């Protein structure tokens, strides 16, 4: 490589490593998947003139999108304010501040939309107080799903035809963007979304979600329900057990959203032995060494050595989930067509209310 042609760290870590997990199952293993939209969104904003030298980046997240933005903001020498809530991991918060980010915590949830609504309102307030700010808006910005075209290109380059993509769903960006890009060349690619209980993304029930990094309390505009052929809901215990199994059997040290997706993808791949299935494994496990990778913590939380189900329970409707791993054949329908009504509060409805 010629002098001056070396990549910075976010570019160097951008694309996943594609590894074989047995049979026709392959893992798209990311160090930090959220670097894909963070780098793309901030780059596009800079090119449009929306991110000048004095522009303050303001965003809400309690997860790895914040870390990805903090990394990219540090490289771009831009001030970054991250709005989060009390569940933010202490080690993540320390790393964010080391990168120069200012972390603002919303201490109390609101009645509708919980902490995520409280965080969105705080973002609006912080932006109103500043003359020059930019919000990446991971839930609504179409640059989020558009950024994953490079992931689809990587999968096609390494594997050729892909029959199925399995991945966790939070903002809707990674699954919708990757699958849309693959379907531009082959319309029959199957999309399997992985959610968790008490998330509103594919069902009407909002509530506490011990499994973080997927699911949502609000409906993000970037989630196109028509992309998905089927949806699975995993509990925290099931995701944690699968995360440890992924490490034990494949030496892949990933976080619990990866474990949830792996559990579903392994089941799907065994049912379709002639298909080539890719599972998105979003981030590494270092943030979870004192939780998911700690046997004492698992036991104390009630996630001990209980046997885990080998198969999901197929449910008749998204609002009739079992208390364990559940599956519903979504059939590329809209939320209204699949669930029977328009659904919970959406991010854009709250923004208009402000």
- Fold identical between 13-33+143-339 and 35-134? yes
What is the distance between the alpha carbons of residues 215 and 14, in angstroms, rounded to a whole number? 23
Average confidence (pLDDT) over 98-107: 96
Sheet holding 56-60, edge to edge: 102-105, 80-84, 56-60, 133-134
High-pLDDT (> 70) share of the chain, %: 94
Question: What is the pLDDT confidence band of residue 344, given thresholds at 50, 70 and 90?
Answer: low
CA angle 108, 131, 118 (to 5 degrees): 15
pLDDT digits (tens, 9 = 90+) for 134-190: 999 999 999 999 999 999 999 999 999 999 999 999 999 999 999 999 999 999 999
Tokens linked to 310: 């080998």
CB-CB contact of 257 with 288 (8 Å): no
Confidence of residue 343 (pLDDT cuts 50, 70, 90): low
For position 235, what pLDDT does the model report? 95
- Cβ within 8 Å of residue 39, ≥6 positions away: 10, 11, 14, 68, 72, 147
Cα 32 off chain centre by: 10
Mean pLDDT of the chain: 92
As a whole number of angstroms, the distance between CA 125 and CA 119 comes to 10
Of 109, 95, 157, 103, which Cα lies nearest the Cα of 126?
103
| CATH (residue range 35-134) | 3.40.50.1100
**In angstroms, rounded to a whole number, what is the distance separating the alpha carbons of residues 28 and 150?**
13
**CB within 8 A of 233, min separation 6: which ones?**
194, 195, 196, 197, 199, 202, 203, 321, 325, 326, 327
pLDDT tens digits along 11-29: 999 999 999 999 999 999 9
CA pair distance 211, 159, nearest whole angstrom: 31
Domain 13-33+143-339 has CATH 3.40.50.2300: no
What is the spatial distance between Cα 5 and Cα 323, in angstroms, rounded to a whole number? 52
Q: Hey, which of 136-140, 277-281, 302-306 has the most confident mean pLDDT?
A: 277-281
User: pLDDT digit string (tens) for 221-258?
Assistant: 999 999 999 999 999 999 999 999 999 999 999 999 99
pLDDT of residue 5: 55
The average pLDDT across 86-103 equals 92
Confidence of residue 308 (pLDDT cuts 50, 70, 90): confident
pTM (2 d.p.):
0.92
> Average pLDDT, stretch 344-351?
49
Token pair 């998911």 in the structure block, residue: 292
Domain-wise residue ranges, the chain: 13-33+143-339, 35-134
User: Is 136:59 a contact under the CB 8 Å cutoff?
Assistant: yes
What does DSSP assign to residue 282? -
User: Could you give the CA distance from residue 256 to residue 323 in angstroms, rounded to a whole number?
Assistant: 19
Q: Within 13 Å of residue 247, how many CA atoms lie on the same side as its CB?
A: 18
Provide Rg for the chain, Cα atoms. Answer: 19
């Amino acid at each position: 490589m010629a002098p001056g042609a070396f990549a910075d760290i976010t570019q160097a870590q951008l694309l996943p490593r594609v590894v074989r997990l047995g049979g026709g199952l392959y893992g798209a293993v990311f160090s930090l998947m959220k670097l894909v939209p963070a780098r793309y969104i901030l780059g596009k904003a800079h090119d449009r003139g929306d991110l000048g030298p004095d522009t303050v980046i303001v965003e809400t997240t309690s997860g790895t999108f914040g870390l990805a933005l903090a990394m990219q903001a540090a490289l771009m020498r831009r001030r970054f304010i991250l709005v989060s809530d009390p569940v933010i991991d202490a080690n993540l918060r320390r790393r964010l501040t080391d990168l120069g980010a200012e972390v603002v915590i919303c201490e109390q949830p609101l009645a509708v939309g919980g902490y995520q609504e409280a965080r969105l309102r705080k973002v609006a307030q912080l932006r109103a107080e500043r003359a020059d700010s930019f919000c990446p808006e991971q839930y609504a910005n179409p640059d989020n799903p558009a950024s994953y075209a490079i992931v689809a290109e990587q999968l096609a380059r390494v594997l050729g035809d892909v029959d199925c993509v399995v991945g966790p769903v939070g903002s809707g960006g990674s699954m919708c963007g990757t699958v849309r890009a693959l379907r531009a060349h082959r319309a029959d690619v199957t999309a399997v979304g992985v959610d968790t209980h008490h998330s509103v993304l594919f069902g009407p029930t909002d509530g506490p979600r011990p499994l973080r990094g997927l699911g949502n309390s609000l409906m993000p505009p970037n989630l196109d329900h028509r992309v998905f052929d089927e949806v699975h809901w995993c509990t925290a215990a099931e995701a944690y057990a699968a995360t440890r199994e992924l490490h034990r059997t494949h030496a892949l040290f990933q976080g619990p959203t990866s474990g949830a997706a792996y559990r579903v993808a392994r089941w799907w791949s065994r049912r379709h032995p002639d298909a080539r299935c890719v599972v998105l494994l979003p981030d590494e496990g270092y943030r979870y060494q004192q939780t998911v990778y700690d046997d004492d913590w698992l036991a104390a939380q009630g996630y001990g050595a209980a046997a885990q189900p080998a198969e999901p329970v197929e449910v008749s409707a998204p609002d009739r989930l079992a208390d364990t791993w559940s599956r519903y054949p979504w059939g590329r329908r809209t939320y209204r067509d699949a669930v029977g009504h328009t659904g919970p509060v959406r991010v854009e409805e709250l923004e208009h209310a402000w």
